[in-house]
Amino acid sequence: MDMSKYKGMFISETKEHLQSMNKLIISLEKDPQNQENIEALFREAHSVKGMAASMGYNDISELSHKMEDMMDLFRKGTIKLDSSAVDLLFEGLDNLELMLKGIENDEPADIDYSSLISRMQDVQNVTKSDVPIERPEKTPQPEVVETRVAEPQIKKPSQSEGIKLTVDVKIDPSSQIPGMRGFLVYKNLSNISEIMSISPDIESVKQGDFDNAISFQISTDQSIVQVEAMLKKMVDLAGFSVHKFDESVAQVVEEDSKSQVRKEASPTRSGPPKKAQQVRTVRVTTDLLDNLINIVGEMIIARSRLFEVGKEISSDPLHEGMVEMSNLIRDLHGQVMSVRMTPIESLMERLPRVVRDLARKGGKEVELAIDGKDIELDRAILDEMGDPLVHILRNCVDHGIETIEDRKAAGKNPVGLIKIRAMREKDQVYINIQDDGRGMDVEKIKRKAVARGIVKKEKFHLISDKEALMLVCHSGLSTAEKVTDVSGRGVGMDAVKSVVDSIGGSLHIDSTPNAGTIITLKLPLTVAIVHVLLVNVNDEILAIPINKIIRTAEVEKGDLKRSQKQMAVLIDNELIPLLSLKRILKMKGKDVLTQQIPVVVVEMKNKKIGLVVDSFVEQQEAFVKPLEAPLSWVKGFSGATILGDGSVIFVLDMPNLL
Amino acid sequence: MSIKVLIVDDAVFMRNMIKDIFTGDEFEVVGEAANGVEAIEKYKELQPDVVTMDIVMPLKSGIEAVKEIVTEFNDARIVMCSALGQDSLIMEAIEAGAKDFIVKPFKADKVIEIVKRIVAD
Helices A35-55 and B12-21, packing angle to 10 deg = 40
Domain count, chain A: 5
Structural domain ending residue among the three candidates A493, A524, A555 = A524
- Provide, as residue numbers in chain A, all residues whose Cβ is less than 8 Å from the Cβ of B67: none
Does some domain include residue A133?
Answer: no
Interchain CB contact of A145 with B (< 8 Å): yes
Interchain CB contact of A176 with B (< 8 Å): yes
Q: Which helix (H) or strand (E) holds A438?
A: none
Cα separations in angstroms, A25 against A42, A78, A178, A462: 11, 17, 36, 50
Q: Is the Cβ–Cβ distance between B81 and B105 less than 8 Å?
A: no
Interchain CB contact of A277 with B (< 8 Å): yes
Cα separations in angstroms, A650 against A94, A132, A292, A548, B90: 44, 73, 23, 15, 64
* Same domain flag for A295 and A381: no
- CB contact (8 A) between residue B29 and residue A273: yes
Question: Which DSSP state fits A35?
Answer: H
Does some domain include residue A41?
Answer: yes
At residue A115, the 3 state secondary structure works out as helix
- CB contact (8 A) between residue B1 and residue A49: no
Domain that holds residue A384: 344-524
* Same domain flag for A515 and A533: no
How many residues in total does chain B contain? Answer: 121
Q: Distance (Å, rounded) from C-alpha A328 to C-alpha B105?
A: 47
Bridge partners for A496 per DSSP: none
Bridge partners for A598 per DSSP: A554
- CB contact (8 A) between residue B84 and residue A177: yes
Interchain CB contact of A343 with B (< 8 Å): no
Does some domain include residue A152?
Answer: no
* Same domain flag for A319 and A424: no
Best of A21, A46, A134, A282 to mutate (most B CBs within 10 Å, chain B)? A46
The answer to whether the Cα torsion of B37, B38, B43, B48 is positive or negative is negative
- The CATH number of residue A580's host domain is 2.40.50.180
Task: Give the gap in angstroms from C-alpha B65 to the nearest C-alpha of chain A.
Answer: 16
- Provide, as residue numbers in chain B, all residues whose Cβ is less than 8 Å from the Cβ of A49: 83
* Same domain flag for A512 and A539: no
Structural domain ending residue among the three candidates A524, A548, A579 = A524
Task: Give the gap in angstroms from C-alpha B38 to the nearest C-alpha of chain A.
Answer: 12
Q: Distance (Å, rounded) from C-alpha A134 to C-alpha A155?
A: 37
* Same domain flag for A241 and A258: yes
* Same domain flag for A627 and A640: yes
pLDDT for A253 = 38
At residue A237, the 3 state secondary structure works out as strand
* Same domain flag for A558 and A462: no
Nearest CA in chain A to B16: A6
| pLDDT per position as a tens digit, B49-87 | 999 999 988 889 999 999 999 999 988 999 999 876 677
- CB contact (8 A) between residue A13 and residue B112: no
Q: Which helix (H) or strand (E) holds B88?
A: helix B87-96
- CB contact (8 A) between residue B12 and residue A179: no
- CB contact (8 A) between residue A145 and residue B12: no
Q: Distance (Å, rounded) from C-alpha A276 to C-alpha B59?
A: 24
Does some domain include residue A277?
Answer: no
Does some domain include residue A217?
Answer: yes
Instruction: Give this prediction's pTM.
Output: 0.48
At residue A33, the 3 state secondary structure works out as coil
Mean pLDDT split into 10-residue runs, chain A, 658 residues: 76 88 87 85 88 86 89 81 84 91 84 85 66 39 36 43 83 83 88 86 84 87 85 84 62 38 38 43 76 84 84 86 88 83 83 86 88 85 85 88 91 92 83 92 85 81 83 67 40 78 83 91 77 89 87 86 83 86 83 83 82 88 76 80 80 80
Task: Give the gap in angstroms from C-alpha B83 to the nearest C-alpha of chain A.
Answer: 6
- Provide, as residue numbers in chain A, all residues whose Cβ is less than 8 Å from the Cβ of B106: 1, 54
HEC assignment per residue over B18-53: HHHHCCCCCEEEEEEECCHHHHHHHHHHHCCCEEEE
Q: Which residue has the higher pLDDT, A486 or B30?
A: B30
Does some domain include residue A413?
Answer: yes
**Facing A265 at nearest CB: one of B26, B90, B95:** B26
- The CATH number of residue A55's host domain is 1.20.120.160
Collect all residues with Cβ–Cβ distance below 8 Å to A112 and sequence separation of at least 6.
none
Structural domain ending residue among the three candidates A524, A553, A581 = A524
Bridge partners for A184 per DSSP: none
pLDDT for B54 = 92
- The CATH number of residue A324's host domain is 1.10.287.560
* Same domain flag for A221 and A193: yes
DSSP strands (E only) in chain B: 3-8, 27-33, 50-54, 78-82, 100-103
Bridge partners for A566 per DSSP: A563
Collect all residues with Cβ–Cβ distance below 8 Å to A173 and sequence separation of at least 6.
A212, A238
Produce one character per residue of A51-88: b if its CB has 16 or more CB atoms within 10 Å, e if not: bbbbbebebbbbbbbbbbbbbbbbeeebbebeeebbeb
* Same domain flag for A221 and A319: no
Q: Is the Cβ–Cβ distance between A545 and A532 less than 8 Å?
A: yes
pLDDT for A560 = 84
- Provide, as residue numbers in chain B, all residues whose Cβ is less than 8 Å from the Cβ of A140: 88, 91-92
Q: Distance (Å, rounded) from C-alpha A331 to C-alpha B15?
A: 34
Collect all residues with Cβ–Cβ distance below 8 Å to A230 and sequence separation of at least 6.
A188, A189, A192, A222
pLDDT for A127 = 55
Determine the Cα angle at A213 with ends A209 and A217, to 5°. 110
> How many other β-carbons are positioned within 10 Å of the β-carbon of residue A479?
14
- Provide, as residue numbers in chain A, all residues whose Cβ is less than 8 Å from the Cβ of B2: 268-269, 273
- The CATH number of residue A255's host domain is 3.30.70.1110
Nearest CA in chain A to B18: A54
Cα–chain-centroid distance for residue A608?
36
Interchain CB contact of A263 with B (< 8 Å): no
Does some domain include residue A139?
Answer: no
> How many other β-carbons are positioned within 10 Å of the β-carbon of residue A442?
18
Best of B28, B102, B104 to mutate (most A CBs within 10 Å, chain A)? B104
- CB contact (8 A) between residue A46 and residue B118: no
Catalytically active residues of A are: 46, 68, 395
Which DSSP string corresponds to A163-175?
A: EEEEEEEEE-TTS
Best of B18, B29, B35, B56 to mutate (most A CBs within 10 Å, chain A)? B56
Does some domain include residue A616?
Answer: yes
Produce one character per residue of A332-349: b if its CB has 16 or more CB atoms within 10 Å, e if not: ebeebbeebbbebbbbbb
pLDDT for A281 = 66
Burial class (CB in 10 A: 0-12, 13-18, 19+), B24: exposed
Q: Distance (Å, rounded) from C-alpha A622 to C-alpha A643?
A: 8
HEC assignment per residue over A363-411: CCCEEEEEECCCCEEEHHHHHHHHHHHHHHHHHHHHHHCCCHHHHHHCC
Q: Distance (Å, rounded) from C-alpha A251 to C-alpha A231?
A: 14
Backbone angles phi, psi at A75, to 5 degrees: -55, -45
* Same domain flag for A115 and A225: no
In 3D space, the residue among A606, A595, A611 whose CA is nearest the CA of residue A533 turns out to be: A611
**Facing A273 at nearest CB: one of B2, B94, B97:** B2
* Same domain flag for A437 and A464: yes
- CB contact (8 A) between residue B26 and residue A138: no
Q: Distance (Å, rounded) from C-alpha A23 to C-alpha A43?
A: 14
Q: Distance (Å, rounded) from C-alpha A271 to C-alpha A275?
A: 12
Produce one character per residue of A527-560: b if its CB has 16 or more CB atoms within 10 Å, e if not: bbbbebbbbebeeebbbbbbbbbbebbebeeeee
- Provide, as residue numbers in chain B, all residues whose Cβ is less than 8 Å from the Cβ of A10: 13
Q: How many CB pairs under 8 A join A and B?
A: 137
* Same domain flag for A600 and A647: yes
pLDDT for A491 = 52
